[in-house]
Amino acid sequence: MSVLLWIIISTLAMSLFAWIGLITLALQEDKMRVLLLPLVSFAAGSLMGASFLHLIPETMARTGPRWELFLWVLLGFSVFFLMEQFLSWHHHHVVPSEHAKEPFTYLILVADGLHNFIAGLAIGASFLVSVKVGLITWVAAAAHEIPQELGDFGILIRGGWDKYKALLFNFLAALMIVPGGLLAYFLAGKLDVTFLLPFAAGNFIYIAASDLIPEIKHNASLRKNLEHFCSFVAGILSIVATRLLF
């Protein structure tokens, strides 16, 4: 099988993980509500973990400890801050609707699309080294992608999306991994996209710190607060496990 075919099949297979939210369709509405905040907590932890334990270290491994990479982190953070300000303004200047979606849900789709595009670049580049390296990279990415997609789905539901639209748009964001893999193949050795890694880290840090953590940190029940914190830590540990195992 050719390298190009390996890249196409592997990236398409990865995008299918976005449909993991289907398992929640069998749950009753009250049980889904119980799961939502733990999922949001887990997603916040995995986004912070992916930023500080994967994207930024990966950039430093490629470029060295240059101060410019943190400028890209701040740029990624600031761009999403600006985008949310615009989305919030738009959100409050349209006719109100009980089905209105929270602005941060659009940010999570943009960030996830960018993250998947970068993952596609990494997977495509790995297959260009060898099929073995490509498969190892794919497994490592999948280990992170499964919990992250489930967390993203929970965020969209929490932000006002119905289950079916959340599944569809989460899948469309996941499909960005395919053009990423193809770009890596056709522009091998011609394009340096390292700057996208810290930029995406800044996106993730903003979403986790500005939108998700405020959702979970205020609760009248100490037990619930501890459950949310444990879910947050579990999200971080999922990234730690990925780094240690792969």
For residue 98, pLDDT over 50 is answered with no
pLDDT per residue over 12-35, tens digit each? 998 888 887 777 666 666 666 677
Choose between 26 and 160: higher pLDDT: 160
Q: How confident is the model at residue 233 (pLDDT cuts 50, 70, 90)?
A: very high
112 with 174: CB under 8 angstroms?
yes
Q: pTM for this one?
A: 0.73
pLDDT per residue over 185-220, tens digit each? 888 767 676 777 788 888 889 888 987 888 787 776
Lowest mean pLDDT among 20-34, 106-120, 145-159, 172-186: 20-34
Cα 49 to the chain's mean position, in Å?
11
Token pair in block for residue 162: 């119905």
State the pLDDT at residue 112: 81
For the chain, the domains span: 3-93+100-245
For residue 151, pLDDT over 50 is answered with yes
